[in-house]
Amino acid sequence: MSTITIAPPPPPSGPPLQKETVAGNYFVANYPPFAAWKSDRIPEFLEGLGRPPRPGVPLGLYTHIPFCRKRCHFCYFRVYTDKDAQEIRGYLDALLRELTTYAARPVIGGRKPRFIYFGGGTPSYLSPEQLRFLTDGMKRLLPWDEAEEVTFEAEPGTLTDAKLQAIRDVGVTRLSLGIEHFDDHILEINGRAHRSKEILRAYQYAREIGFPQINIDLIAGMVEETEEKWCETVAKAVALRPDSVTIYQMEVPYNTTIYQRMKDDGKLVAPVADWETKRRWVNYAYGEFEKIGYTVTSTTTVVRDPAQVRFLYREGLFSGADILSIGVASFGHLNGVHYQNHHDFQPYVDAVKSDQLPVYRALTPSADECLIREFMLGLKMGSVSAGHYTRKFGVDPRVRFAEPLARLHDWGFLTVAGDRISVNREGLLQIDKLLQEFFLPEHRTGRYA
């Protein structure tokens, strides 16, 4: 394949370096933006359920567990802290009833999931008995015997030894601990339910019982974060030697407690680090892990052994896999159509009890939008092959995206060398802002979510 040279555009006004942390969603996890998904597109989704699956497309299964001990001040997910045991059991029944409906549709066609993800909320909020009830029912409907990865999000304070053993026994292979920080004051003021002592106890026992992969989450730039406290947190994370670490930069979406409490003409008045500081802190953390042999494998992830540690759910999400998603507010992708369930608890449960699919909105992206989506998300991994997208979509991304690629190249964030398109570290640290250069014009305004 011949090399394509990107001619630089006229000098831009400057790269979109954002400094002040203002309210809003910036993290790009899908395309077109969720705001473009509409209820009047649901018939397209329902029609797609009646078609056989696309050849060669793997199937993933996402289950949303929306229960938490308390709501973190920075959380913008659909979570509930007021549900009793009866309501939780009713929700688990609804999950299985929803899954039963999908399992009988031609789009599933007897397929078995290759990867499974339990997200939240707090999946580890469930008791061992509730967890076994749910997973036993799921396995009867869609057997897990071909699943290469089962990920389970957990909050350290909910993890007793018995619960960790139950999580391992049901087949979880990737335990993701929502640590976020090791300083008790930072945890408290940001609304986290757990404290530092619970982290080490849960992590050590999880190691003892042999989870194949343990990931820990951290957040850079939480309310009242300081340079010293961040360095201490990184040092403690390094000492644990987890298989992977996911580091997010603090956002303040509009539907968070922080925004509601601290807004002043749309600007935060709380001590939240600016974006430049958050990028520097994440870069510092990556550097500390690299010193002991870890590898940065995406904009948010550092991995101890890339040859052994993969994240199949993310790979599938980014590359257009079918993702059967169940639960309140969950979003999935089947037969080329994006969909999201009802985003409130009771409407979701009521719809399922009425033998209706609880879908709230949907969208069938065009071929060009599919290319944009997969190419952008691929860039979040740091480097992509142009030939891969040419073969899959029949379009060379170096030609289709010549203008935004040239801008990112001119700004010093990206290089094109033959088949490889690569984002450097500075670009990765602000990739969600840079990716908007690839958005179609109609998607460049308004809120991302």
138-192 pLDDT per residue, tens: 999 999 999 999 999 999 999 999 999 999 999 999 999 999 999 999 999 888 8
**Which percentage of the chain shows pLDDT scores above 70?**
87
Query: Domain residue spans in the chain?
Result: 1-32+366-449, 37-316
Cβ-contact 357, 46 below 8 angstroms: yes
Convert the pLDDT of each residue in 401-420 to its tens digit.
999 999 999 999 999 999 99
Query: Measuring CA to CA, which residue among 167, 172, 242, 234 is closest to residue 204?
Result: 242
Q: Is the pLDDT of residue 26 over 80?
A: no
Is-same-fold flag (1-32+366-449; 37-316)? Answer: no
Minimum mean pLDDT range among 63-72, 330-339, 386-395, 427-436? 63-72
Q: Is the pLDDT of residue 356 over 80?
A: yes
How far is the CA of 206 from the CAs of 104, 156, 313, 441, in angstroms? Answer: 36, 11, 21, 47
Superfamily for domain range 37-316: tm_1862 like domain (3.80.30.20)
**Residues contacting residue 341 through CB under 8 Å, at least 6 positions apart:** 325, 326, 327, 328, 329, 330, 331, 348, 358, 359, 360
CA distance 96 to 386: 41
- What does residue 359 show for φ and ψ, rounded to 5 degrees? -80, 135
DSSP 61: E
1.10.10.920, 3.30.60.50, 3.90.660.10, 1.10.443.10: CATH of 1-32+366-449? 1.10.10.920
**pLDDT computed for residue 243 by the predictor:** 98
